[in-house]
Amino acid sequence: MRGLVLGKFMPPHTGHQYLIDFARQFVDDLSIVVGTLANEPIPGVLRYQWMQHLYPDCRVLHLQDENPQDPSEHEHFWMIWKNSLDEILPHSPDYVFASESYGKKLADVLGARFIPVDLQRLSVPISASDIRENPLQHWSYLPGCVRAHYVKRICIFGPESTGKTTLAKQLAEHYSTILVPEYARTYLEQQGGRIQSTDLVQIAHGQAASEDALIKHCNRLLICDTDTLATKIWSQELFGLCDEVVKKIAKERSCDLYFLCNIDVPWVGDSVRYLPNNRLEFYKRCEKTLKTNKRSYIMLSGNQDERFNAAIQAIDDRYL
């Protein structure tokens, strides 16, 4: 027997998964049609890729026809949709599965039988519109492959020896999430602190790769101990120049919120800190760079507890 599930999956969530898993148990051959429009808030190609990832054993099809979305929009609404589905489906379905009342009419039009699944949302009390409105509050309903799309990246930014790593660790622990360490430290420590201008390209690549590898495993927030924009600043500060590759990476990547750490804490030196007498100028350069690149930032001052509490308050107010 052959089945059909049609949806926007904007985004896919556990309610969709229940519907599709139900259908997979019901029929031998299931087609999942991802219907998308060009102007929707989540790109259609991305949603199609998500569904392919979630259901590699099903036939996942991408319907991109600019069809009306409600019967009130066109007098031939149902015939338009029938023609689109006839074009994309390899065969007519025997069953149409849906958690919406439209499923019965769609099944009638396609000459199939309607199988309703959790119409009252008793099993999974969530909708895609609820998730889009506040994805972090509905995190548990999102499949792993979808979560990275909604993660908020928080960057701890600023001069050396201003408590950035300590703060990043505190925030990651507080929010039970992942910390992206400063890749420059990892890279330079194995070189004994020696640095050349060409190293900055590898450091920028390493920082970006680390973020992208860890974002899949975080819990709503990704806490970054610096980012590639800082790599660009360091290149200019130490060598008076910046490789175009580093500039490109820094321009293409951005965190949602930066915490710029002030220099009102004592200097503590180590083998990979280079500017003990130039923190104020470096701080000014950091702030100017954030402004020039239109990054959202908050300046943190005071002792470690004060910075930590201010950061938590800002994150909670904005995102949680």
Q: Which of 141, 161, 190 is the last residue of a domain?
A: 141
CA–CA dist 51, 45 (Å, integer): 10
- 49 located within any domain: yes
6 and 100 share one domain? yes
Closest CA to 244 of 233, 253, 232: 232
pLDDT at 271: 63
Beta bridge partners of 33: 6, 61
Residue pLDDT, tens place only, 264-310:
988 887 766 777 778 899 999 999 999 999 999 999 999 999 999 99
- 146 located within any domain: no
Is 166:179 a contact under the CB 8 Å cutoff? no
CA 162: distance to chain centroid?
Answer: 28
16 and 108 share one domain? yes
164 and 271 share one domain? yes
Residue pLDDT, tens place only, 22-57:
999 999 999 999 999 999 999 999 999 999 999 999
∠ at Cα 113 (129, 18), nearest 5°?
40
CA–CA dist 299, 317 (Å, integer): 16
Residue pLDDT, tens place only, 53-107:
999 999 999 999 999 999 999 999 999 999 999 999 999 999 999 999 899 999 9
pLDDT at 236: 93
167 and 123 share one domain? no
Q: How many domains does the chain have?
A: 2
289 and 223 share one domain? yes
157 and 298 share one domain? yes
* Confidence band for 241, pLDDT divided at 50, 70 and 90: very high
Q: Two tokens at 309? A: 């509490």
| 166 has pLDDT over 90 | yes
pLDDT at 243: 95
Domain range for 158 is 151-319
15 and 87 share one domain? yes
Mean pLDDT is lowest, of 115-119, 138-142, 147-151, 275-279, for 275-279
The residue type at 12: P
